[in-house]
Structure 1
Amino acid sequence: MTQPSIEQVWEWLGAIPDPEIPVITLVDLGIIRDVAFHGETCVVSVTPTYSGCPATSMINVDIETCLRDHGLNKIELKQQLSPAWTTDWMSEKARAALEEYGIAPPQAKGTPARCPRCGGDHIEKLSQFGSTPCKAQWRCKDCLEPFEYFKCI
């Protein structure tokens, strides 16, 4: 097999959904930090969203599976802990996909701007934690529906 371009590998990785929030990709989430070839070995640097993220091992399996499915056999995954991941690394595409999916995207002020379901701005926090530690549980006072907010990190 001819070695693919770095751009091609990024394209392949850009199709891998996040295992916890499948409407966003690992690339759009911003956790894939670098792709390089060291000789024939494809080296992918990954920064977990936080050190205790339960999806980290599944993410690594998904990356390796994707690359092997595209014919790469020599793969090295590097865990890059510094700098620590931040929600600032999420693409605008990911933020829009979160909101369309019903999860309020992270905001600089640390609270959701509006309800992702109805767009109402009369909202209240129910719990600091949602279905995962990176999300909080909120409720809209306009439509009365609960929703999750992807916390700023």
Structure 2
Amino acid sequence: MTRTPAWDVAATVPDPELPVVTIADLGILRDVTEDDRGRVHVQITPTYSGCPAMETIRDDLVDALTLAGYSQVDVELVLSPAWTTDWLTDDARTKLEAYGVAPPAARVAGAGDGPVPLSLSVRCPQCGSPDTRESSRFGSTACKSLWVCRSCREPFDHFKPL
């Protein structure tokens, strides 16, 4: 995939549920192609099936690319391969933590060949303590769970690893 000027515009679109990260940071921006007549085709993958933010992301992509001068913008939802938290950029993980959302741990390449790593706790993005507990499997959105830090007593979202 070649990065194009249209890709650069699409990559700036923020996630509507987590505005500190872009759709490129999250890895849901899959491909952007453009032709010499100003037509753009964008492929995006939802973080999970049925994600309600996809319609807003589609509208935001059309708006951003139209404002940038592209005459026709087509946004395609691509479901295969399914999105995984492995597609989060390191920048996304840093931005999420600074925003107060505990990012999922990065998986180890080749881990399918051996034991599955198990995380016993989630580090609090407020104070850094590992002394946390899951309060609810579902947080502010279905892709996050709600946790509470036992040290600083602050609640926080944890982006579920997929």
* TM-score after normalising by structure 1: 0.91
Q: Measure, in 2, the Cα distance between the counterparts of 1:51 and 1:139.
A: 27
1:51 to 49, 52, 68: 49
Question: Which portions of structure 1, spanning 4 or more consecutive aligned residues, are displaced by more than 2 angstroms?
Answer: 37-41, 108-113
8 Å Cα contact 2:10-2:64 kept in structure 1: yes
Instruction: Give unpaired runs (5+ residues) of structure 1.
Output: none
Q: Measure, in 2, the Cα distance between the counterparts of 1:84 and 1:110.
A: 23
1:25 match: 22
Closer, same or farther: CA 111–72 of 1 in aligned 2, 3 Å:
farther
Q: Equivalent residues in 2 for 1:109-120 (5 A)?
A: 109=118, 113-120=122-129
8 Å Cα contact 1:105-1:112 kept in structure 2: no
Q: Equivalent residues in 2 for 1:58-69 (5 A)?
A: 58-69=56-67
Render the CA deviation track for 1:4-63: whole Å, top value 9, x for unaligned. Answer: x94322221221110000000011110010111256321111111112111110000000
Q: Percent identity?
A: 45
Q: Measure, in 2, the Cα distance between the counterparts of 1:51 and 1:75.
A: 23
CA RMSD, 1 decimal: 1.6
Instruction: Give unpaired runs (5+ residues) of structure 2.
Output: 108-117
